[in-house]
Structure 1
Amino acid sequence: MASVFERRIAACRRRLERVDASLVVCFPSPNFTYLTGFEESPSERHLLLFVPQVGDPVVVAPAMYDQQLEALPIDEPTLEVRLWDDADDPVELVDDVLAELLPRADGTHHLADGTAESDVTAAESLTILVDDRLWATFSQDLRACAPDATYGLASTVLEELRIRKDDVELEALRRAGRIADRVSLEIRSRGTDLVGTTEAELADEIDRLLTAEGGGESAFETIVASGPNGARPHHHSGDRKIESGDPIVLDFGAFVAADLDGGTGRYPGDQTRTMVIGEPPDEYERVHDTVLEAQRVAVETVEPGATAGAIDRAARSVIEAAGYGDAFVHRTGHGVGLEVHEPPYIVGDSDRELEPGMVFSVEPGIYLDGRFGVRIEDLVVVTETGAERLNDSPRTWKTGSKHHQ
């Protein structure tokens, strides 16, 4: 049976044919990981994946990665690994690979044995799609090696593949959601014990609990925003001490590893709850109820064929009707996968139609400057008939309680 990565490479090649592109080039990024299961941070060294429409994919890599790359579960098509060491010029190797993988002027492709193969979809001009985040130095090297090619972005083919999660990815995202739920319950149950704790201390404790519950590293910088700091949607947790009566915005999640046939793939949790230690300030309950209702209406709007913009408008309409429209200052959500923020983006002008397997956050918020903020966030997956929430911890503002709302 083909590995998940072999199936993804095959799907990538079909999409290259559909958009009439010759080649996609990735460097260390979520795209590289998605196609091969290999994860590494980018550096100044040439570490590039070439997936052609015709011919076998090739990795150009420093010799130090030999063993990791040879262990990747990709046998068909053969993933050829070409190594270079510090005494070599990697650009010469890139030039050789491009000369072999790009179609010739007569519409044929070079093959390893020196023969040629007809290219039934050969384009009049060569099109190379490069990783959207490819560093300029590598982009310049590609252009020097293939100056006559037309260049575009890898997202042209890979976004449509990555945006719908398969069963293995969904299982990982569900596990990440359950981990976030358990941590949320634990923090909520501590109630007044949190008084006197600084935001940074509570953020550290949340990170510790995420690991203790089975998560990997935090998927993003944990947000603990207490009192007036909650009015800043992306507040950085600081040394403010939590006081009785403070609303506290808690936004956190951890990566979990997916079971991907020996390759690597990490998928994040992302949950936000807003709770109050003690009695809430004036107007708080009305604001919290409004955000909770906006989230409920938005989630109920999710179904195949609905647009991302419709989800945003559903949430925004509730908040605007309550008189807080100007205080909802960000989009309603974002997709999650190998990245915490990726398509689809749940924003008002988006006509992207939702499809089963898409996963994204639904996180309306109201932010009252100098007073407090409220945000409630769950991840949802689009199903054949609607939406499945990947988070199920209490959404109430009350602490010391484990009941659901």
Structure 2
Amino acid sequence: MITLPFAADVYAGRLERARSLTRASGLGAIIVGPGSDLAYLVGIEGDTIERLTALVVPADGEPTVIVPRMELAKLRGTAVSALDLRVVDWVDGDDPHGLVLFALPSAPSRIGVSDALPALHVIPIGDRLGVRPELATPVLREGRMIKDAAEIVELRRAGAAIDAVHRRVPGMLRPGRTERDVASEIAAAIVEEGHRTADFVIVGSGPNGADPHHEVSDRVIEEGDIVVVDIGGPVPSGYNSDSTRTYVVGTPAAEAAGRIEILVRAQQAAVDAVRPGVTAEQVDAAARDVLAEAGLADAFLHRTGHGIGVSVHEEPYIAPGNPLPLREGMAFSIEPGIYFPGRWGARIEDIVVVTADGCERLNMTPHGLTPAG
């Protein structure tokens, strides 16, 4: 059974905001399938299956949850039961997509669907309603991008928990161990330090560190290796951690050490740039400019950051070309990296929350090249 991390009135407020934003967008309703949006709005966790589960939020009217009868037990302990929301259940042989129309006070001319709802459901819902579904992302994004005080508490909890793991990592790194061995030990530590699960563990040693999305391999860690460790997962509330540090086994090459010092400066420049009114692309540029001035522009292969909350990756995205102004309560990563194929890579990542006059950094372990042992 799921235990709600927040009081029922928090979820009631989220639903009301979703309804208000739906109305303001000109949509007649939004339809939200399983995934992070559904977890955020009513605390239902899990993935989409071939049987339709959906939350229908009309612009005017009460929300309804459509769920297979065999899944009714999963609603216990969620905001659906806490708020006594209307539930419409169905069994195999029924037409669940037609129930969406039943859940609406009138037939809408426009509907939005969450981006996690598969075509398997989106197309027949559109057919039953006689409309072309649109993405509900603008409505759902607006609600989730600005974290309230309770959400920020959970993000702080997640940040402290993953910091505790990073403090243990130097003792796990030594020559002769494989990346896989280290990753297994880190995954156990993530749970031991207060996470529900280890959602991801990247251990990129030596040349593997030059692949930003390398996970683990059977490569044996060697003396002198630079090792990228990117880890995170949800705490019991479902809010996520995500932090990357770069370690060295033994003595680093002078060139690598110097370049990582520049990376530290780039990451700090981006953190320093964060405040309300500054755009996402300006924060990205703050990190990118430091690296470019040092001749390392081509070594930075990805955006500077991503939002975080009930998903590890969500809006806002701190990337070139994103003119979105930052607002107080936004939470996202700052994680520039440099990568040299066949040799080594490095990345430094913190989660920050925008405050009234800057930002709060949620990860506090050392940012420079950290020695193992």
- 1:270 CA displacement: 0.6
Match of residue 102 from structure 1: 106
Opposite residue 140 of structure 2, the aligned amino acid is L
Q: For residue 192 of structure 2, what is the aligned residue in structure 1? A: 212
The one-letter code matched in structure 1 to 2:204 is: A
- The amino acid of 1:26's aligned partner reads V
Distance 1:53 1:229 in 2: 50
Q: Does 1:43 align with 2:49?
A: yes
Whether contact under 8 Å (1:62, 1:85) holds in the other structure is yes
Q: For 1:333 and 1:93, how far apart are their aligned partners in 2?
A: 40
Choose 1 or 2 for highest CA Rg: 1
> TM-score, with normalisation over the residues of structure 1?
0.87
CA distance in 2, matches of 1:374, 1:15: 41
Q: Say if 2:116 is the partner of 1:133.
A: yes
The answer on 1:381 being equivalent to 2:353 is yes
> In the TM superposition, what is the alpha-carbon distance from 1:78 to its structure 2 partner?
5.1
| Aligned with 2:139 (options 157, 160, 167) | 157
Does 1:14 find its partner at 2:25?
Answer: no
CA contact (8 A) 2:263 2:337 kept: yes
C-alpha distance in 1 between matches for 2:264 and 2:202? 19
Displacement after TM superposition at 1:305 (Å): 0.5
- Answer whether contact 2:98 2:125 (CA < 8 A) is retained: no
SS of aligned partner of 1:283: helix
Q: Distance in 2 between matches of 1:359 and 1:90?
A: 37
**Matched residues in 1 for 2:132 and 2:291: separation?**
46
When the two chains are superposed, the root-mean-square deviation of aligned CA atoms in Å is 1.8
Aligned equivalents of 2:79 and 2:102: distance in 1? Answer: 25
> Would you say the 8 A contact 1:69–1:81 is kept in 2?
no
The residue identity in structure 1 corresponding to 2:325 is: E
Q: How far apart, in 2, do the equivalents of 1:254 and 1:66 lie?
A: 27
Distance 1:70 1:180, change over 3 A: closer
Distance 2:291 2:320 in 1: 14
Task: Give the conservation status (yes or no) of the 8 Å contact 2:304–2:319.
Answer: yes
Residue pair 2:75, 2:81 contacting (<8 A) in 1 also: no
| Residue of structure 2 in register with 1:68 after alignment | 74
- State the alpha-carbon separation in 2 of the partners of residues 150 and 59 from structure 1: 21
Structure 2 equivalent of residue 179 of structure 1 = 161
Secondary structure of the residue aligned to 2:218 is: coil
Query: Judging changes above 3 Å, is the alpha-carbon distance between structure 1 residues 66 and 325 closer, same or farther for their aligned structure 2 residues?
Result: same
Q: CA deviation at 1:61?
A: 0.6
Shift of 1:40: 2.0
2:3 — aligned with what? none
Shift of 1:219: 2.6
Q: Is it true that 1:392 corresponds to 2:364 in the alignment?
A: yes
TM-score (norm 2): 0.94
Q: Determine if contact 2:162/2:232 at 8 Å carries over to the other structure.
A: yes
Hey, what does 1:263 align to over in structure 2?
none
Identical columns (%): 40
The one-letter code of the counterpart of 1:311 is: V
**Residue 225 of structure 1 pairs with residue 229 of structure 2:** no
- Per-residue deviation, 1:158: 0.9
Distance 1:129 1:54, change over 3 A: same
Aligned residue for 1:56?
A: 62
User: Over residues 253-289 of structure 1, what are the superposed CA-to-partner deviations in whole Å (9 max), with x where a residue is unaligned?
Assistant: 121122xxxxxxx111111111101110240111110
- CA distance in 1 between counterparts of 2:183 and 2:82 reads 45
Partner of 1:245, secondary structure, is coil
- Letter in structure 1 aligned against 2:42: T
Amino acid at match of 1:242: I
State how far apart, in whole Å, the 2-side matches of 1:2 and 1:240 are: 48
1:212 maps to amino acid: E
Mapping of residues 5-404 of structure 1, within 5 Å:
5-69=11-75, 71-73=77-79, 79-97=85-103, 100-103=104-107, 126-147=109-130, 149-190=131-172, 194-220=174-200, 222-258=201-237, 266-400=238-372
Q: Quote how far apart the aligned CAs of 1:151 are.
A: 2.5
User: Contact 1:275/1:399 (CA < 8 Å) preserved in 2?
Assistant: yes
The residue type paired with residue 132 of structure 1 is D
The answer for unaligned runs of 5 or more in structure 2 is 1-6
Q: What SS does the aligned partner of 1:255 have?
A: coil
**Consecutive unaligned residues in structure 1, runs of 5 or more:** 104-124, 259-265
Distance, in Å, in 1 between the alignment partners of 2:163 and 2:8 is 35
Contact 2:247 2:372 in 1 (8 A): no
What secondary structure, in the 3-state scheme, does the structure 2 residue paired with 1:215 have?
coil
**Aligned pair in 2 of structure 1 residues 241, 80: CA closer, same or farther (>3 Å)?**
same
* Distance in 1 of aligned mates of 2:352 and 2:247: 21
CA drift of 1:240 comes to 0.5
Residues 1:5 and 1:323: Cα distance change in structure 2 (over 3 Å): same
